[in-house]
Amino acid sequence: MKFSALVDVRLRGGISDPAGATIERALPALGYQGVEGVTVGKTIRFTLEAETLTEAQTMAEELCESFLTNPVIEDAEVTVEEAS
């Protein structure tokens, strides 16, 4: 079966996020007040073949831990569902 995976990569708590901080600092100059907590991450999408949803979820999480993220600085949330 074919599954689609979405990996939402974020910087871990405590790791400085210079891109997020820079965007946040720029907002008042553009007329946006009160916007806080800006963080910048990345999204990775792919499809994969697996027998079951559980197997697909495990594969995607392994791929995420071994390659797609650097656990020293990044966390990720992996969402897998049956491809439509």
Partner 1 sequence: MTVTVGVVVFPGTNCEADALEAVTSLGAQGRLLWHGESDLGDVDAVIVPGGFAHGDYLRPGAIARFSPVMEGVAKFAAKGGPVVGICNGFQVLTEAGLLPGALQKNKGLKFLCQPSVLRVESANSVLTSQAKVGDELSIPINHFEGNYTCSEETLKQLQDEDRIVLTYVDNPNGSLGNIAGVCNETRNVVGLMPHPERACHELLGSMDGAVLLRSLLAS
5, 7, 56, 68: residue in contact with partner 1 (rule CB under 8 A): 68
**Residue 30 lies near partner 1 (rule: CB under 8 A):** no
> Does the protein bind partner 1 through residue 70 (CB under 8 A)?
yes
Both structure tokens of 53:
């949803």
Binding status of residue 13 toward partner 1 by CB under 8 A: no
Is the torsion defined by CA of 54, 59, 60, 62 positive or negative?
positive
Buried b (16+ CB within 10 A) or exposed e, 51-82: eeeeebbebbbebbeeebbeeeebebebebee
Q: Does 43 bind partner 1 (CB under 8 A)?
A: no
Q: Which C-beta is closer to partner 1: that of 6 or that of 11?
A: 11
- What is the binding site for partner 1 (CB under 8 A)? 11, 15-16, 18-19, 22, 67-68, 70, 72-73
